[in-house]
Structure 1
Amino acid sequence: MKILIPSDIIPSKEHNIRAGNIVLYNIIKGFLNKGVQVDFLYFNNDNKKINISDIDLLRNKRFNFVTELKFKPHTKDNYWKKFKKVFLPNMYDLFPILFLKANVKKEVQKIKPDWIFIFWSENLTHLFANIESKVFAYYGNPLCKNMKASNFLLEKFRSNFFQKLLQNIYLYNLSKIHHRIMKNIDIIGNVAKNDALYYKNKGHKNSFYITNTWFNKFSDIQIKKEINKNYKTNIFRIAANLGKLNGTANTYGLIYLFDRLVPVLNEVFKNEKFQLHIFGSGKPESYVLKKSIFKNVIFRGYVRNIDQALLQCPVFLCCNNATRYNVGHTRYLHAWTLGRCVVSHNNVRLAMPELKHNFNCLLGKDEYEIAQNIYKVYKNKKLFKTISCNGFDEFKKSFRSDIVVDKILKKMKSYKD
């Protein structure tokens, strides 16, 4: 089998600022290990100079770097274009990358792949739809769902009536065009179960849930040692955010954390000390920063050695899924690979059903149960060890890249047009 993988990120075995680089590397490696021929087409959106010889995968005879296509994202629109984009848009107005369609068709005709595999990219999913070759989109958050969630925040904290109206008209038109394009994708493998159902309900018959994937830097022995370490309880550290601080999901999560959970945690812990460590690049939205007035909340920013920083925090807390914006996250997998005890909201199971309360994580229906779950871990090291070990085992059972690649190939081979 020959698979073409177009991407705007370079696969790398070195973990850098974007986790996608190494996740993509491991997926490609999984394909190669199964005897698949992989042709890689790089989309250089930033016009950065790349050294192709640095791509480690080139050592494998079944990996071929096809070419580099440069695409400069559109910058400023004049008033007419802005008006047209809102009220009378076509697909090229909304997704300018589609102007590369002719170039892409030529490359696909030369390569003649059995499948095109799109990794975590809305732009490239749109570009390769209806390209006269079968397409498997390994997909994340639905574009329209993400925009609707962003609009809600803008309406609540920033927009006036006129802006709200424009946002809703734009979203309505974008949704129509997006779903029309997506119907040309042969298989949508969505990494959140609720989002796979979302596309199915929109008429995409081959939308299904497939687990996300992550990578494991440490051996089983190393992680078991970390789990068995006696964590300090004089100041109990909780990792309370990971990733871009002004991202949509993180913005929702931070609002929930500051508005609802931190006050309850202060009541539950009383005079016992705890800290909430907020990891991630960028700055939170201004309306989020106004809420973070708690002394025990520490903004760490971007931390280069994030694994070591997380290992100092026995609990990995994620509030994102406690909100109206419920999507799948690799951060749960990241925490599991480090032997951390995952604490979240019950809603996460709608996106990732592998998370099971009192087995591989601790889940609560509201801020009171979530706070109590964190306090239980603080007081009960045996509970921490049990949940953390089960989480690490769940990662190995369900989320390793070789397991995910097997599922992808099985779906491709059984596909009937």
Structure 2
Amino acid sequence: MAGKDHLVFVRVVFVNDSVPHCFHGGGGVTAYSMVKALAGRGLDVNVVALASSQHNGNAREKDHIQHLKSELGVGVNILKPSEGPRGRRRWPTFKDQFPSVHQAGALLKRVDDLRPDVLLGYHWAALGAMYNVAGKLKVGIVGDPVHLPELFRREIFKRSKARKSVTRKIRERLLSGWNVKTQERGMVKLLNSCARSGAFAAHHAEDLQRWGAVDCQYFRTPTPDPNATSKRQGPKFKIMHIGHLKGVATIAGLEILADPVLPNLEKVLGHEGFEIHLVGGFFDELPSELRQKLIHAAVKIRGQINPPDEEFLTSHLLLVPTPIELGIRVRIITAFSFGACIVAHRANCKGIPELKDGYNCLLGNDGFELASACLRIYRDPELRRKLEAGSRETYDQFFSITVAGGRVAHVTEEIVGR
């Protein structure tokens, strides 16, 4: 591998849907960690964000930009609203299902100005915008397949018995059949337009290869090191659940937390013997039946907390009850970085095969087993400390910015040096 003196001449444009940041959200943390890894290896990095996140209520975007520029030495460019994507994902055509392809012209203008050696795109919007930018080496890494969140959300809607609007019924009809096939073919087309490609979930890398993406590799998700101080758990048993409460994976897990995890814990510990802290915004927008089940004396609705360091340090365990095999939960990787004790549904092993029952976590196949695992942690502090140690060891071995981010940087350097 080339030395650092050589690497500084490798120019990278990192394409993302918004300005990368490390404050909240798995996608933002992953993008930020990739950029930090590239900059830390001495590459000349410029971010091109396809849109301003201020339009999604992110009032801290200026802080993110300033941090990237002053702390990491990274340039930041944001496409104008007039340069945004067009298309409504209604019809089974490639450009309609991947509307960011319409941003190729705007992206090309930035590329011509920045003159990079390689484009690195994170997730489908970035790969769509990069698709028609010719004459540049490209690396594309994605999270979950583009069509899966909506398909899983449809199943949750059925279970919640919520009344669907006419608009939603039409959307579900349009997102089935030929559109799914178009999306699968489109994902393969976007990945195969890159010199190197991969996914941050092991099972999705395998899925995409099976659909036709050539050598789509599993990349471990890099996450910042919080450099956490020692844990400060109090006398009351504290379980943390963290995640965006509008996310389909989080909602699926909350259904299990509400029943049977919560009633089984109460049966053994009593409603005053433990606390479950729900960290994440939009509690009021949960399906009404689920929301009512979670209004409980032992459940503390904390809202969004940035940064969540204190919650990780004061909780006895992180509970991740997500039972669906959709992407990965970056909250698990973050928990590894804190050396946190983790209790998780076994479905999460599909995306994160580094989860090892009894070494860095306890796993359960359903809500009853998850409740039993929580009670094991409650009764056995020595087991908790063993899992905490395994958790941090897993981070150091696989998911640090140096290791996991270093692989992203190495692949980026490698295609330039071919």
Q: Place the TM-score, normalised by the shorter chain, in its bin.
A: 0.7 to 0.9
Taking a change above 3 Å as real, the CA distance of residues 54 and 109 of structure 1, as seen in their structure-2 partners, is closer
Write the mapping of 1:120-159 to structure 2, written as runs, cut at 5 A.
Answer: 121-132=123-134, 133-156=136-159, 157-158=161-162
Q: Aligned-pair distance for 1:134? A: 3.0
1:188 aligns with 2:213: no
Separation (CA, whole Å) in 2 of partners of 1:181 and 1:326: 19
Taking a change above 3 Å as real, the CA distance of residues 192 and 298 of structure 1, as seen in their structure-2 partners, is same
Separation (CA, whole Å) in 2 of partners of 1:287 and 1:210: 38
The amino acid that maps onto 1:335 is A
Give CA deviations for 1:140-165 in whole Å, capped at 9, x if unaligned.
12211111111222233235698657
Superposed CA RMSD in Å reads 3.3
2:37 alignment partner in structure 1: 30
1:265 aligns with 2:265: yes
Q: Aligned-pair distance for 1:380? A: 1.3
1:404 aligns with 2:404: yes
The amino acid that maps onto 1:238 is I
| Contact 2:324/2:347 (<8 A) preserved | no
2:103 alignment partner in structure 1: 100
Separation (CA, whole Å) in 2 of partners of 1:285 and 1:74: 32
Separation (CA, whole Å) in 2 of partners of 1:153 and 1:366: 17
The amino acid that maps onto 2:186 is I
Q: Aligned-pair distance for 1:368? A: 2.7
Q: Aligned-pair distance for 1:348? A: 1.6
Q: Aligned-pair distance for 1:381? A: 1.2
Separation (CA, whole Å) in 2 of partners of 1:200 and 1:389: 35
Q: 1:175 aligns with which of 177, 180, 186?
A: 180
* SS of equivalent to 1:278: strand
Taking a change above 3 Å as real, the CA distance of residues 72 and 287 of structure 1, as seen in their structure-2 partners, is farther
Structure 1, unpaired ranges of 5+: none
Taking a change above 3 Å as real, the CA distance of residues 267 and 73 of structure 1, as seen in their structure-2 partners, is farther
Separation (CA, whole Å) in 2 of partners of 1:127 and 1:54: 21
* SS of equivalent to 2:249: helix
| Contact 2:336/2:391 (<8 A) preserved | yes
Taking a change above 3 Å as real, the CA distance of residues 94 and 218 of structure 1, as seen in their structure-2 partners, is same
Separation (CA, whole Å) in 2 of partners of 1:369 and 1:47: 42
Percent sequence identity is 20
Higher mean alpha-carbon deviation, 256-265 vs 105-114, is at: 105-114
Taking a change above 3 Å as real, the CA distance of residues 107 and 271 of structure 1, as seen in their structure-2 partners, is closer
1:348 aligns with 2:352: no
1:237 alignment partner in structure 2: 238
Write the mapping of 1:267-286 to structure 2, written as runs, cut at 5 A.
Answer: 267-269=267-269, 273-283=273-283, 284-286=286-288
1:55 alignment partner in structure 2: 66
Give CA deviations for 1:329-360 in whole Å, capped at 9, x if unaligned.
11012222223210012222111011111111
Separation (CA, whole Å) in 2 of partners of 1:291 and 1:60: 44
Q: State the aligned residue count.
A: 395
Q: Aligned-pair distance for 1:89? A: 4.4
Greater RCO, 1 or 2 (C-alpha within 8 Å, sep 6+): 2
| Contact 1:339/1:389 (<8 A) preserved | yes
* SS of equivalent to 1:55: helix
Q: Aligned-pair distance for 1:18? A: 4.7
1:313 alignment partner in structure 2: 315
Q: Aligned-pair distance for 1:398? A: 0.7
Structure 2, unpaired ranges of 5+: 1-9
| Contact 1:315/1:343 (<8 A) preserved | yes
1:70 aligns with 2:80: yes
Separation (CA, whole Å) in 2 of partners of 1:257 and 1:51: 37
Q: Aligned-pair distance for 1:69? A: 1.4
Write the mapping of 1:253-402 to structure 2, written as runs, cut at 5 A.
Answer: 253-269=253-269, 273-283=273-283, 284-320=286-322, 323-402=323-402
Taking a change above 3 Å as real, the CA distance of residues 71 and 287 of structure 1, as seen in their structure-2 partners, is farther
Taking a change above 3 Å as real, the CA distance of residues 176 and 378 of structure 1, as seen in their structure-2 partners, is same
Q: Aligned-pair distance for 1:369? A: 2.4
Give CA deviations for 1:24-53 in whole Å, capped at 9, x if unaligned.
344323212323222322333456797599
Higher mean alpha-carbon deviation, 18-27 vs 274-283, is at: 18-27
Separation (CA, whole Å) in 1 of partners of 2:82 and 2:338: 38
1:251 alignment partner in structure 2: 251
Higher mean alpha-carbon deviation, 21-30 vs 390-399, is at: 21-30
Higher mean alpha-carbon deviation, 336-345 vs 129-138, is at: 129-138
| Contact 1:281/1:301 (<8 A) preserved | yes
Q: Aligned-pair distance for 1:201? A: 1.5
Taking a change above 3 Å as real, the CA distance of residues 106 and 166 of structure 1, as seen in their structure-2 partners, is closer
1:207 aligns with 2:207: no
Separation (CA, whole Å) in 2 of partners of 1:389 and 1:124: 37
Q: Aligned-pair distance for 1:129? A: 2.2
Taking a change above 3 Å as real, the CA distance of residues 179 and 109 of structure 1, as seen in their structure-2 partners, is farther
Separation (CA, whole Å) in 2 of partners of 1:346 and 1:330: 15
| Contact 1:357/1:363 (<8 A) preserved | yes
| Contact 1:355/1:361 (<8 A) preserved | yes
Higher mean alpha-carbon deviation, 153-162 vs 405-414, is at: 153-162
